[in-house]
Amino acid sequence: MLWRVAHSRSSFKLYQSRWANRLAIVRAMSTAAGHSNAEAGPSTLPSRFSLPAHISISNLEGRKELDKSLFDVRVKILTVRLEGPNVNRMISNRLFRQHTLDIGRAKAIIPDPSDRNCKLVRMKVSSEDELPEDVRELIKSEANGTSTEELVLGFDDWSTSEILNSILPKDSNDEFAPSSFTLTGHIGHVNLKEEWLPYKYLIAQVMLHKNAALRTVVNKLDQINAAYRFFDMEVLAGEPDMLTTVSESGCSFTFDFSKVYWNSRLQHEHERMIQSIQRGETVADVMAGVGPFAVPLAKKGCYVLGNDLNPESVKWMRKNQENNKVQATLRVTESDGREFIKQSVMTFWNHPFEPYNPAPKNKDKSKRNRSAPGQPPGATHPPSPTPPPVLKTLATPQVPQHFIMNLPDSALTFLDAFWGLYAPLALEPGFEELVKSVGLPLVHVYCFTRELDPAPAERDICERASAVLAYTVEPSMADFKLHPVRRVAPKKDMYCLTFRLPAEVAFATGPYPGEASQQDAH
């Protein structure tokens, strides 16, 4: 069975050849030249497979186990016998070729078991009568006859869509059955419409059987954990194992999918942010989850404080810190984001990271060893006229340079935490000079908006940000950027707003004049 898994926004759609290499030749028929072998028997072949007639919805509704034998079907196809030299000529004839079997891995041309000088070309029809006149004429003049083949197709030969279309009720608005799911490690999660729910176990069984990468299929239930943003899930098929490992941004992440937030669809956004931050910079990841920003940034050589309120996220972020060997450049905490923002300034100032010299990669070492001239084989300390390259020591800025806030439902409402952020340290010797040289931090705050056009979306987001920051957030601000992340629902977009924290806010000493209690749109 040939599978292609097309990756689109981390959502996987299954495609399958309609024909597989396990097509079985059951019966070979007569081979008289120019003779049509149409006969009573199995169904004719449509251009796209129709469903096995005996599969009935009422039989399958509510079933939890998949009976693969229900999908067995026999189809008859016409084969055209051609002598060696004629094969290429006929196949390159457009008229003939468009009627040959050309789908998936099923070979259109097979050896003729009865004559080694000939080949059999499989056609899309079951008899010559179904071919246009000009094709029949062509066959008559070029071929050494025709025959029919009866193919036995089983569960493995049908695509996921074909199988699901046969077991799900037809919805006039929906041409296709749900054959897509989001893959997180070995877990596939499906988003099922209400009308598919009576068939959820069967749908999950089909997906499980059709995709080798899957060990577990889950359905997200409606309730989202409001605080920690993960969904309740029910296991529909496979092992009830929610502990999974995924790779992203060159790091591995292990977590319990049922207890923390993870969204594979954010992979590109994670990578965009990671690339925008330079090695050696300091980062405070306020709502870090299990670390999809924090861990790769730490691996890149940034100095990162990773924080989350969910103890489970923190537990797995620590595990991922260890697994990815980033203990020197990532510190993990479990606090409320607002508290963490204020605390992070003190942490960078009072407990700066040790400058981190990443060990040279093995291949660099071996390159250096290879290039050392005059080294006898096996010598451990070769005399080297070229000194080893000096490893650059990265300075550790004692102030945060980036705040990442990915809690789009409410992150804008945390902006009040920046009011007077630097005020407690303003009189510390060297602090103001350091801020002048390093710069004020960039704030990257994620949010949702129901405004779907860019201009109203920008207005909406800036207004809400301004109200809580107590400062006018607008495109003319330093380093302002409003990056569209993705459409999360038909009428809801996710954005990342970036701006440089204004000195008026960072060093503010007066009482906070903003609207801290404002709720974000969701």
Binding residues for S-adenosyl-L-methionine: 270, 308-309, 336-337, 406
Can you tell me which of 258, 313, 320, 344 binds ligand SAM, judged by CB under 6 A?
A: 313
Side-chain half-sphere of 223: how many Cα atoms within 13 Å?
7
Written as six digits, the tokens of 311 are 């103890």
DSSP 8-state assignment for residue 414: G
Written as six digits, the tokens of 215 are 């060990």
- Whole-number Å distance between alpha carbons of 152 and 72: 7
Binding mask 501-520 for ligand SAM (x = CB under 6 A): --------------------
Handedness of CA 263, 330, 388, 383 (dihedral sign): negative
Between 288 and 425, CB nearer to ligand SAM = 288
Between 1 and 288, CB nearer to ligand SAM = 288
Written as six digits, the tokens of 284 are 């405070």
Phi then psi for residue 431, to 5 deg, are -65, -50
Compute the least distance from the CB of residue 9 to ligand SAM, in Å: 15
Written as six digits, the tokens of 15 are 């495609």
Q: For residue 162, state whether it binds ligand SAM (rule: CB under 6 A).
A: no
Q: For residue 60, give every residue at least 6 positions away whose Cβ sits within 8 Å of its Cβ, in sequence order, or none.
A: 70, 167, 199, 202
Q: For residue 489, state whether it binds ligand SAM (rule: CB under 6 A).
A: no
Q: For residue 244, state whether it binds ligand SAM (rule: CB under 6 A).
A: no
Residue in this structure with the two tokens 């300390």, named with its chain if needed: 381
Q: For residue 287, state whether it binds ligand SAM (rule: CB under 6 A).
A: yes
User: Of the ranges 68-76, 201-209, 225-233, 415-423, which one interacts with ligand SAM (CB under 6 A)?
Assistant: 225-233
CA-nearest of 51, 294, 260, 74 to 166 is 51
Strands (E), 113-176: 118-122, 146-153
Residues annotated within a binding site: 270, 308-309, 336-337, 406
DSSP 8-state assignment for residue 171: B
Q: List binders of ligand SAM among 401-430 (CB under 6 A).
A: 406-407
DSSP 8-state assignment for residue 303: E
- Whole-number Å distance between alpha carbons of 122 and 148: 9
Q: For residue 309, state whether it binds ligand SAM (rule: CB under 6 A).
A: yes
Residue nearest to ligand SAM (CB): 289
User: How do 330-333 and 402-405 pair as beta strands?
Assistant: unpaired
Compute the least distance from the CB of residue 436 to ligand SAM, in Å: 30
Between 17 and 267, CB nearer to ligand SAM = 267
User: Of the ranges 31-39, 161-169, 285-293, 459-467, which one interacts with ligand SAM (CB under 6 A)?
Assistant: 285-293
Q: List binders of ligand SAM among 96-155 (CB under 6 A).
A: none
Q: For residue 308, state whether it binds ligand SAM (rule: CB under 6 A).
A: yes
Binding mask 334-353 for ligand SAM (x = CB under 6 A): --xx----------------
User: Alpha carbon of 290 to those of 72, 258, 311, 330: distances in Å?
Assistant: 45, 13, 10, 12
Q: List binders of ligand SAM among 258-277 (CB under 6 A).
A: 261, 263, 266
Q: For residue 228, state whether it binds ligand SAM (rule: CB under 6 A).
A: yes
Residues within the interface to ligand SAM (CB under 6 A): 227-229, 261, 263, 266, 287-289, 292-293, 308-310, 313, 336-337, 406-407
